[in-house]
Structure 1
Amino acid sequence: MNKLKIAIQKSGRLNEDSIGILKSCGIYIDNGIDQLKASATNFPIDVLYLRNSDIPQYLEDGVVDIAIVGENLLIEKDKNVEIVEHLGFSKCRLSLAVPKEVEYTGPQFLQGKKIATSYPNTLTQYLKKNNVEAEIHVISGSVEIAPNIGLADVICDLVSSGSTLFKNGLKEVEEILSSDACLVKSVLLSPEKQELLDILLFRLRSVMRAKSSKYVLMNVPNDKIQEVSDLLPVLKSPTVMPLAIEGWSSLHSVIDEKKFWEVIDKLKEAGAEGILIIPIEKMVL
């Protein structure tokens, strides 16, 4: 029986989010403590827990079929792999940072400077694009300490909340790229395994669609149903159900949550009352 081999980061936030989204897709991984390979109990997939930086090479070589990795890593490693879906979690950005007392004046500030980073290839491309020559120091971890020990004038590192920079007396001055987690596949994937991937993608997209949507219910006077319906940012026409109170109906629909908040005041002005917003676990179209 064919099985997909998926690589995920063996520890850290990306690991937790990756396992979480698989679980949301109804895929449960039977793994023990410190186990580097595990199987799903109800889907033909094996999970390999690998060092993050090694995953793109495993994909290119076809050792694993698919993986969940940050787009920033794919850009840095520049391997022959294919992004299948942006997953929207583990968002971060690769940015330049300098000591907070330093006045940053733009990319030309970097000319002749020493820059510490774990992303030398991405940084090199950025410097080349801006016609800047700088001295790159490659560090595998704790990049933010480099200016404090005199190793570098500037750092180029991943930033999420910015709290680590702040704690080390640094400030973010330039964003080089933004990134989120991606589902990536090997270009060597067989047709049989592509069929399994298509099933997984169907589940993933249903979960992701549900996260950005909400089920909404509201009570509306019958003579205001059309006006309220026209205001709703819905997928299709809403469901209308009569209430026990004469002249009123309950209006049900699925909405984009972000767009809903743009029209909430207009809905109330149009006569909608008792508005309920309910999370959706899965949404299959």
Structure 2
Amino acid sequence: YIEAGVLDVGITGLDWLSERGHEDKVERIADLVYSKTSNRPCRWVLAVAGDAPYACAADLAGKRIATELEGMTRRYFSRQGVSVNVFYSWGATEAKVVEGLADGIVEVTETGTTIRAHGLKIIDEVMVSYPVLIANKAAWREPRKRAKIEQLTLLLQGALRAENLVAIKMNAPAAHLDAILEMLPSLNSPTVSPLRDGRWLSVETVVEVGIVRDLIPRLREAGAEGIIEYALNKVI
């Protein structure tokens, strides 16, 4: 649709962009590194039965490989100099090995949990993938549409950036302000505002999600009160 100009802009996976051979037929505007359970890219991996004697791609010469990405899988084995029988996987790909229909699979995973749950082991990484924003080449050359696409890109990247951040706000005793500010990372500098009671100040900043659990108790010990943590929709 994007290549043909039916749509001006859209999101697809880097894997499918490569699989369908569209890399040179559309404009790749931005990488949106995101997956269902994390902000890490997903991986297409080569997996076999956990008790199989295969340790690398070369060990699968002449074997049957099931996958949803036939083109990419064939190119992978071709680069390895290994001849295999690649066939399209209808339904759950992991089950193909379990049911004896394939000797190995090339499947997408974020954490590897589902693959291990089926009793399989990963022996190689075939490709790293993530969503990409793409545009029709003619639309990208048109100034009005390009400006809209750039605005959309800015907002999408801002939303992804916000996934890893939270805002915290608190009342801080003026006498302990310096000690509290030393604990606070921020995008630029924490916001400090006076309160009606001059002995207290309002402090607000943005921090990474991963540090909040340890940070809030330390702030409380330093004298901060009324500490509020809230999620962010976008950080530009």
TM range (shorter): 0.7 to 0.9
Q: Note the aligned Cα RMSD (angstroms).
A: 3.0
Shift of 1:216: 0.6
Post-superposition CA distance 1:178-208 (Å, at most 9, x none): 3222221122324132122123223323433
- Counterparts of 1:27-38 in structure 2 under 5 Å? none
- How high is the TM-score relative to the length of structure 2? 0.77
Distance 1:122 1:259, change over 3 A: farther
Aligned counterparts of 2:6 and 2:54: Cα–Cα separation in 1: 44
1:127 to 77, 84, 87: 77
The answer for the alignment partner of 1:100 in structure 2 is 50
Which is worse superposed, 82-91 or 194-203? 82-91
Matched to 1:198, the amino acid is: E
* Pairwise CA distance, 1:257: 2.4
Match of 2:8 among 65, 69, 77: 65
Matches within 5 A, 1:40-51: none
Instruction: Provide the identity percentage.
Output: 31
SS in 2 for 1:59: coil
TM-score w.r.t. length of structure 1: 0.66
Structure 2 Cα separation of the partners of residues 227 and 133 of structure 1: 62
Matched residue, 2:209: 257
Q: CA 1:254–1:108 in 2, change beyond 3 Å: closer, same or farther?
A: same
How many Å apart are 1:233 and its aligned residue?
A: 1.8
- Listed as ranges, the gaps of 5+ residues in structure 2 are none
Match of 1:30 in 2: none
Q: How many residues align?
A: 226
Which residue of 2 is the match for residue 49 of structure 1? none
Are the aligned partners of 2:170 and 2:202 in contact in 1 as well (CA < 8 Å)?
yes
- Matched residue, 1:281: 233
Q: Could you tell me which of 227, 230, 244 is aligned with 2:182?
A: 230
State the partner residue of 1:188: 138
Contact preservation (8 Å) 1:107, 1:132:
no
Residue 149 (structure 1) shift:
4.7
Unpaired runs of 5+ in structure 1? 1-57
Say whether 1:78 aligns with 2:21.
Answer: yes
Shift of 1:276: 1.8
Between 160-169 and 59-68, report the one with greater CA deviation: 160-169
Could you report, residue by residue, the CA deviation over 1:202-250 in whole angstroms, capped at 9, with x for unpaired residues?
3323433333322211232323322322332211222223456663322
* Structure 2 counterpart of 1:144: 94
